[in-house]
A and B are shown apart, each in its own frame.
Chain A
């Protein structure tokens, strides 16, 4: 067979809206995937990425229908096949890996049984060899001890291991093409980097094609040959990964790239303001017009076609030749930062937190069952007006620490003091109204942190009534002012959260926190649930508020680039213990602690010319070791027994840069330099 493996021709997909008009979700999409090729599909949430990937399988979510066009796999029309034929193909020659592999693994069946089932349905293997073949597949996805994994249930595996098992299952039918929908979103950076390397290798070895859907340009840069950029249901740019990521010729792609925070750039990313039109909401002109810096009158009256250029790119823009004028890197603001010494706003004094409380049995038996605390020995001082970044993988105790500061989780040891050296009561119920007002917490997901039954006005009134006793007109006036401060108009006051976009909701959550006129704002992954372009706007807003209000932030994120963009100082956490602490510029320029080195090495940049360095294994530890260094089980620079038995001391570097390791910073720097030299040789 010649010709493309997957051939999508001019498909439009839509649903019937309230006014019984058909609203398009995908508009006139052409996409060809050749054998062995891997294609990335990027775009913000709602741009139609997943719908396109599913359509490639001949599948549409309920409510959606094919309005025109065709999808062919290996030359045959997918929408014309019977159900049995489709079932044979799906999971066999064409496999899908969804974002949450929990969806593709059956929770009640052992991994082995599920693999055997996949083999029985889709593989050409004699029954006697199912088991051996299954073990072989688990080995191929680099799961440790495949025979043992066979007998486990999905919940007994970590997120990364589940995703590997799901990939193993997808490989059972020897697929010629693999569709991946955000396969690493929600996984830790190190795990994500490992999974992507695995996918790259498998695709190369088997000559397998991949369609990789993601909002993460870093992941796309690592695994894809070609990239398709989608906006409001249309393809706006297509080209080689290098063309799209290095010299994109569509204004949207440039805006998207500029909105990504980079490890190498201390400036804030540039926000891409506005939001895409809802399905059916695009006018007769270009769908990007409301957000485009190059827009001209002509763009409003007619819709640009997807123009194929001799360079191999395809672009949907009248003025693509001028796109290079738009900056690609953050010419965003330099983050507001404090100068000179400043009094302390928050001091964590050997903070320890345990989730397990001693049970009745333990009390009777006089046993200390609290065991190894989840978080231990946290000693940090945050200066007034400073932003402290707190980074670590999921489960490293970031949220736990914030909850303790907010009084939601009483610590099991240590002390928390605020400005003026006053100790905070451990429980929120015992704190003075003044302390309560001065410390505010913003959560990761605004869908969860805003009461769905309250209007925005009611949400904002809560702190205003509680802390300032405002009522009537004054209350209303103040709510509107606060909303204005987060750049939302007063007409939002009467809406319910469900009537707002993700970014708008997060702004309301920020507005609510700032309504209290706080001194200290705790931000828990506040941009993780948002699209990159929206994330940049929220970062910008937080930075502005800090500059105008002189607020102190503790900013938690698993995303190292985001932390870099906003923080003056950064603390790296592993298993609830501090590893490294220092000014952001120094830590990012010279990550010294072995764990920081591993973590930063795994970060994927949206640049095809960079590659992650993977040193430590991506095992997930469930609890910290009882003694010694928390990183002892994974450390690539481990010294020996001393790391297992003795708590590492603080090692001083230049300025305030310190690490907790038995190596000195100088030794580690030398070892890193040697490693780099070794790689070059």
Chain B
């Protein structure tokens, strides 16, 4: 008997494609995905397309309004705001782009493990998670950053750690639903190891939820990163960063609002784009999203 077959990866690829098609066919998904892709591409190519040097100060042209040569005007040091807005998301996207997958991976793994173990251990551990979550996030992060410093090498693990914790909750809840089903009992009765059950039975069924959750975490993390920069704990000057730019331009907002408006529009459009995408993704995957957008 000869048997030919498409590999399982093929089935997975086909599903991914059909989900993607579904996302794009929704207005929210199309707009959201466009915004996200736009920002990511911009962050990659911006150093080669910006009109000015982002560090170049010009004491003759401080806080000038938008005009033909400076589309978004200049800041208090006479630097081109447009240039700095184009470059201002690079740091944020780099840090959150690395920290989000780490957060979802570790949070998802721990959540699935808790969900599978269940019983009293799971309950006690979840209490700990809840207690931790009830502390204001900014406080927790400031303590760490003040202790260890503010470089990327601190920001990435810090954000990845803190933003993985809420993922535990979601992954655990999703796992609980799956664990109750007979195919998991069947796998247990066959005698598979815990790891095999996680990999083959649980993960494929909670992956959808984790992906949507990951997108949400990403937008929350961007917001946090910008807030940290705003407070002076993120990117250090003169590197352009939206949060930092808003903080710098805040004092001149009454007579030079372009300094704030540029980075605000940039950061909001990215966060909104991620949220719209997450929404469309959740709908395409048939997941009820209880959590609301961060803004």
* Interface residues in chain A, defined as those with a beta carbon under 8 Å from any beta carbon in chain B: 403, 406-408, 428, 431, 433, 436-437, 439-441, 443-445, 448-455, 457-458, 462-463, 466, 476-477, 479-481, 484, 490, 493-494, 496, 512, 516
* Interface residues in chain B, defined as those with a beta carbon under 8 Å from any beta carbon in chain A: 1, 3, 5-6, 8, 10-11, 181-183, 185-192, 196, 200-201, 204-205
What are the residues of chain A within 8 A of B181 when measuring CB–CB?
A: 448-449
What are the residues of chain A within 8 A of B204 when measuring CB–CB?
A: 451, 453-454
Max chain A C-beta neighbours (<10 A), residue from B191, B196, B201: B191
Q: Which of A441, A452, A457 contacts B186 (CB 8 A)?
A: A441
B189 touches A451 (CB 8 A): no
Q: For chain A, what secondary structure do more than half of its interface residues adopt (helix, strand, loop), or is it mixed?
A: helix
Known: A448-B182, A448-B183, A451-B204. 10 other contacts (CB 8 A): A428-B189, A436-B191, A449-B182, A450-B183, A452-B205, A463-B190, A466-B190, A466-B191, A466-B192, A490-B5
Report Cα–Cα, A577/B54, bound state, in Å: 82
Q: Could you show 25 A-B contacts with beta carbons less than 8 Å apart?
A: A406-B189, A428-B188, A431-B191, A439-B189, A441-B185, A443-B182, A443-B185, A444-B182, A449-B185, A449-B186, A451-B205, A452-B205, A454-B8, A454-B200, A455-B8, A457-B8, A462-B190, A463-B190, A466-B192, A466-B196, A476-B3, A480-B1, A481-B1, A494-B10, A512-B186
Chain B residue at minimum C-beta to C-beta distance from A453: B204
B189 touches A441 (CB 8 A): yes
B1 touches A407 (CB 8 A): no
Max chain A C-beta neighbours (<10 A), residue from B183, B185, B188, B205: B183
B191 touches A477 (CB 8 A): no
B191 touches A462 (CB 8 A): no
B182 touches A462 (CB 8 A): no
What are the residues of chain A within 8 A of B3 when measuring CB–CB?
A: 476-477, 479-480, 490, 493
What are the residues of chain A within 8 A of B5 when measuring CB–CB?
A: 457, 476, 490, 493-494
What are the residues of chain A within 8 A of B191 when measuring CB–CB?
A: 428, 431, 433, 436-437, 466
Chain B residue at minimum C-beta to C-beta distance from A444: B182
Max chain B C-beta neighbours (<10 A), residue from A443, A445, A450, A453: A453
Q: Which of B11, B183, B190, B196 contacts A451 (CB 8 A)?
A: B183
Report Cα–Cα, A44/B182, bound state, in Å: 25
Max chain B C-beta neighbours (<10 A), residue from A436, A450, A462: A462
Chain A residue at minimum C-beta to C-beta distance from B120: A360
What are the residues of chain A within 8 A of B188 when measuring CB–CB?
A: 408, 428
Report Cα–Cα, A403/B186, bound state, in Å: 10
Chain A residue at minimum C-beta to C-beta distance from B194: A429
Q: Which of B6, B187, B190, B205 contacts A453 (CB 8 A)?
A: B205
What are the residues of chain B within 8 A of A431 when measuring CB–CB?
A: 191
Closest 10 pairs (CB-CB, A-B): A436-B191, A453-B204, A449-B182, A448-B182, A443-B182, A406-B189, A451-B183, A480-B3, A490-B3, A441-B189
Chain B residue at minimum C-beta to C-beta distance from A449: B182
What are the residues of chain B within 8 A of A408 when measuring CB–CB?
A: 185, 188-189
What are the residues of chain A within 8 A of B11 when measuring CB–CB?
A: 455, 494, 496
Q: How far is the CB of A672 from chain B (nearest CB, A)?
A: 40
Q: How far is the CB of A443 from chain B (nearest CB, A)?
A: 4
What are the residues of chain B within 8 A of A444 when measuring CB–CB?
A: 182
Chain B residue at minimum C-beta to C-beta distance from A479: B3
Q: How far is the CB of A487 from chain B (nearest CB, A)?
A: 15
Report Cα–Cα, A408/B248, bound state, in Å: 62
Report Cα–Cα, A458/B196, bound state, in Å: 13
What are the residues of chain B within 8 A of A436 when measuring CB–CB?
A: 189-191
A516 touches B190 (CB 8 A): yes
Report Cα–Cα, A253/B209, bound state, in Å: 46
Chain B residue at minimum C-beta to C-beta distance from A493: B5
Q: How far is the CB of A212 from chain B (nearest CB, A)?
A: 32
Max chain B C-beta neighbours (<10 A), residue from A433, A451, A479: A451
Chain B residue at minimum C-beta to C-beta distance from A484: B1
A443 touches B186 (CB 8 A): yes
Report Cα–Cα, A484/B10, bound state, in Å: 23
What are the residues of chain B within 8 A of A451 when measuring CB–CB?
A: 183, 200-201, 204-205
